[in-house]
Amino acid sequence: MKEDVLVLVSEDDGSLPIGATSALGLYYHDTQFLSGFALRINGQPPALLSANTEQNYVGAFQLANRRATLDDGAILPSQSLSVRRTRFLVDGLRERVGILNCNPGRVRLRIELEFDASFRDMFAVRGYRGLPTTVEVTPVEAIPNGIRFERLGRDGVRRTTDVTMRPAPDQVEGRTFVLERELAPQEIVTYELAIVPREDGSGVAPAPRDFDEALDALNARYRRFMRTCADYSTSSESLDDELILRSALDLRALIDVEDTGLFVTAGIPWYAVPFGRDGLIAAYQTLAWNPDIARGTLRLLARYQGTKVDAFTEEQPGKIFHELRRGELARLGEVPHRPYYGTVDATPLFAMLFAETVKWTGDRAFWRELLPAAERAITWCDTFGDADHDGYIEYGASPSDLRNHGWKDSANSLSDPNGEPSALPAALVEAQAYVYAAKRGLADLYALDGEAERAAKLRAEAAALAERFERDFWMENEGCYAQALDGNKKQVPAVTSNAGHALWAGIARPDRARRVVERLMAPDMFSGWGVRTLSSTYPTYNPMSYHNGSVWPHDNSLIAQGFVRYGFRVEANAIIEALMEAGKRFPNARLPELFCGFQRDLRFSSRPADYLVSCIPQAWSAGMVFLCLRSLLGLEPDLERRRIVVDPALPVWLDRIEVQHLRAYDSLISFRVRRSGRSVTVTGGGSRVARASTQVIV
């Protein structure tokens, strides 16, 4: 569960283990503010019957008592007490528990609630670089209606967790609340808990409000947000009710509200913090859903844009960070994530998204505000990013745990055919494509702004990059671009999904784009559920690996839009259909961060195999559906005429897409695309919508 900067990871029954070093808990600013939470009835924890946490911020747990011997020797049968726990995150963790006596006679109950707060840093919880996973016992003091856990960190921050109950517990025994109740048949006892984390006396929200009032306010917050988003509905009820709605709710749950605006954090549970690359791609995916995400993302990243050279954090002037943490170890500088800048692609992606956001919104004030940051990003690409001045951005050896600094950042994601890690520094295929798109995008905007000289310079640099790129990355024997150039300027000859990003960014030569499309859709790359990260013919292929043969939904959404850019609508729709079919088969219609790359067997109604430690939900997987809808509709911004171009190509399984309240150019745009026979019609939108053509895929 997540709401803003609060994250809760619990057992299936809602509990947190007592007396164990566990990763479960209530987290605030990368710190485990609650590590233990146990409910016992007459000495026994209740048994789980069902749980519902589909709304991300609200959880409901139906439990029942276990068999117990009471003080008078009577036997309390199992499942004779109904135990209902309802909780949500807003100004801390709020929980209401109701216990109903379903016995024919009166029952005396002893209800115990035990708590613990370790205040461990997230990096210690995860055992980062051998950090100790234990922490000293946290002192407890009594406060009105409850207890307070407190720890003064080595960073000088006083962290507290207040646990209070209404009505007040009958007794407080150390860290345990005790209630003694006698219930008549069908009588209910109800109590409410508030668990509020604070740093130096500052909490995540105002003082706790009434339970129902706080829940109503939280629901209203969700409704207000959804009203700011475009509404997509289709002729497929399963697509609407499952994937689109689920993705919208997951994106909302992943949002942190910073003073710079909205920022979609990477994923639950361990990466619910700002990540540069993840945030930028998720913001790009959702431009046609809610452009405020892109604005907030760019503003936060600009705030932390590098200003100096720091070998430990890998900061450099103009560079965009990889990951931002706010816990004790980051504050002390014992981990480099304050923020950490070890990424080669976030910086060109920043400039690329900035240009695309201005094209979608026509926001000239935003253009002026962040143009200096975008220019610093381009300067980084041309200087620090290209340290050997060969015309490509590269990354070399790093003091961090990340050997590879592209989106495939696992240690073995860039390997020679013999399985050995490729020599560094490496120039990744997709990173060069992002630089090209960034320079082209900024050039377009400079031209519209009357800055012809700057526009011409950027276009010339982009053209020169494209020429070098075709010369050095193209593998004629494979009909595809190499994954990278290694430290010896030799191709890493792997066929990977990364090549599809060259189409997304527009750097690929049109005649070669066709061959890339054919190569990525070949059986060794296309699993039936999506394009694999690595060809099954490459020696390091493993469909169960993180990056060497798995399928990533976000990766495929970018590839599909790249196919659309070059006119390959049939192939784009095949990828989109595969993703939609996969999504509907996962629990709660929620696509994970990635899944295994085993071949789909159409003889069985199966689903993709799970990658066991995948983040769920995950930002750019949730953003996938909105970029795929944009690809089906062929939506592109036309800033010069301040309109949206619609060039639809609906697949045979989809007859209609209706878009309401799409935000562009200070307008709310609504239109409908409908397939009839072999043609597609676009209605509505007025002067803000231009129909490029009518297409249908049959």
CB 556 within 8 A of CB 496: no
What sign does the dihedral 584-589-590-596 (CA atoms) show? negative
pLDDT of residue 697: 46
pLDDT of residue 173: 96
Give the residue among 590, 607, 594, 624 at the shortest CA–CA distance from 528.
Answer: 607
pLDDT of residue 698: 36
Task: For residue 694, report the phi and psi dihedrals to the nearest 5 degrees.
Answer: -120, 125
Residues 212 and 346 in one domain: no
Which residues partner with 234 through β-bridges? 657
Domain boundary, last residue among 633, 657, 672: 633
Residues 464 and 527 in one domain: yes
Distance CA 363, CA 445 (A): 11
Domain boundary, last residue among 220, 238, 259: 220
pLDDT of residue 207: 52
- Residue 282 in any domain: the answer is yes
- Residue 638 in any domain: the answer is no
pLDDT of residue 203: 67
Mean pLDDT by 10-residue block, N- to C-terminus, for the chain (698 residues)? 94 93 94 97 96 88 93 89 96 96 95 96 86 74 96 95 96 96 96 96 66 92 95 95 94 96 93 97 98 98 98 97 96 94 98 98 97 98 97 94 94 96 98 98 97 98 98 98 98 98 98 98 98 98 97 98 98 97 90 95 84 89 98 96 95 95 96 90 90 57
Q: Residue 138: which CATH number?
A: 2.70.98
CB 14 within 8 A of CB 59: yes
Q: Residue 240: which CATH number?
A: 1.50.10.10
Distance CA 607, CA 597 (A): 11
- Residue 676 in any domain: the answer is yes
pLDDT of residue 443: 98
Q: Which amino acid appears at position 594 of this protein?
A: L
Give the residue among 541, 511, 510, 514 at the shortest CA–CA distance from 525.
Answer: 541
Domain boundary, last residue among 633, 655, 684: 633
- Per the structure, the count of domains in the chain is 3
Q: Which amino acid appears at position 680 of this protein?
A: V
Residues 158 and 238 in one domain: no
What sign does the dihedral 429-435-441-443 (CA atoms) show? negative
Residues 239 and 204 in one domain: no
Residues 525 and 484 in one domain: yes
Residues 206 and 274 in one domain: no
- Residue 272 in any domain: the answer is yes
Residues 628 and 666 in one domain: no
Secondary element (H or E) of residue 224:
helix 211-227
Residues 171 and 297 in one domain: no
**What's the predicted TM-score (pTM) here?**
0.95
- Residue 191 in any domain: the answer is yes
Instruction: Evaluate the omega torsion of the peptide bond into residue 425 and state whether it is cis, within 30 degrees of 0.
Output: yes
- Between CA 5 and CA 8, with CA 7 as vertex, the angle to 5 degrees is 155
Distance CA 219, CA 217 (A): 5
Using the CB atoms, write b or e for 356-367: b if 16+ within 10 Å.
bbbbbbbbeebb
What is the per-residue DSSP string for 100-121?
EE-SSS-EEEEEEEEEE----B
Residue 86 lies in domain: 2-220
pLDDT of residue 514: 98
- Residue 639 in any domain: the answer is no
Q: Which amino acid appears at position 327 of this protein?
A: G
Distance, CA of 657 to chain centre: 25
